[in-house]
Homo-oligomer: A and B are copies of this chain.
C-alpha cells in the first residue's frame, strides 16, 4: 500500500502529469516500487479525491493532460507516513523454487536459465552503476544526496549479490554436467 505515498514523494520532488510520473517511475522510484500508468492514474484520482493533491488541465498540451501538485495536506500525510514501521517484504523468487526443484529432481537443464538471469542482473548492475557515476560521482553534497546515493547502492549490492550467488549455482550445475552425469542429458546444439 505504498504506491500513493510513492506518488506523493515523486510529486514533492517535482510536479507533473500522470504520464510524467509513469515515466519517472520507470527510472527512479520504480526501481524499488514499480508501477504502471494504470495504477498511477487510479491512485492520482484517489489522492485528489482525498484532498492530498490538486490538478489543473493544461490547455496547450495534447491529450487531456493535467498537471498534478502536492497540497499541504499531502505533505502532512507524508510526514506522518514516512517514519512508520512495518515488516520487511517477504522474499519471493521463483528461481529459488526452480533451484530447489533441480535439487529434488536431478539435472533438468536449468543452466541456460541461470545464464539468462545472470545476464539480466549484470545489465541492471551496469545501469545502476552508470547512474551512480553520473549523479553521485563525488562526495555527497547534502543529506538528501547521501540518502539517494545510498538507496542506489542498495540496488547495486542487490544485483551484485545475485550475480555472485547464481554464478556459484552455475558452478555446481556445470561441474555436475561435465562430471559423471554428463550422459543423462542431451547436449545443447550450441554447446
Instruction: State the A residues within 8 Å of B (CB).
Output: 2, 5-6, 9, 12-13, 29, 31-34, 75, 78-79, 81-106, 108-110, 112-113, 116-117, 120-121, 143-148, 150-151, 153-155, 157-158, 161-162, 164-165, 168-169, 172, 176
Contact of A101 among B5, B102, B108 (CB under 8 A): B5
CB proximity of A191 to chain B, nearest CB, Å: 15
Copies in the complex: 2
CB <8 Å contact, B110 and A32: no
The dominant DSSP class at the A interface is helix
CB <8 Å contact, A83 and B97: no
**Assembled-state Cα–Cα distance A165/B161 (Å):** 13
A and B contact pairs by CB, cutoff 8 A, 10 listed: A6-B100, A12-B104, A33-B92, A78-B101, A84-B98, A87-B120, A96-B154, A99-B147, A103-B143, A103-B144
Most central of A34, A90, A101, A110 by chain B CB within 10 Å: A101
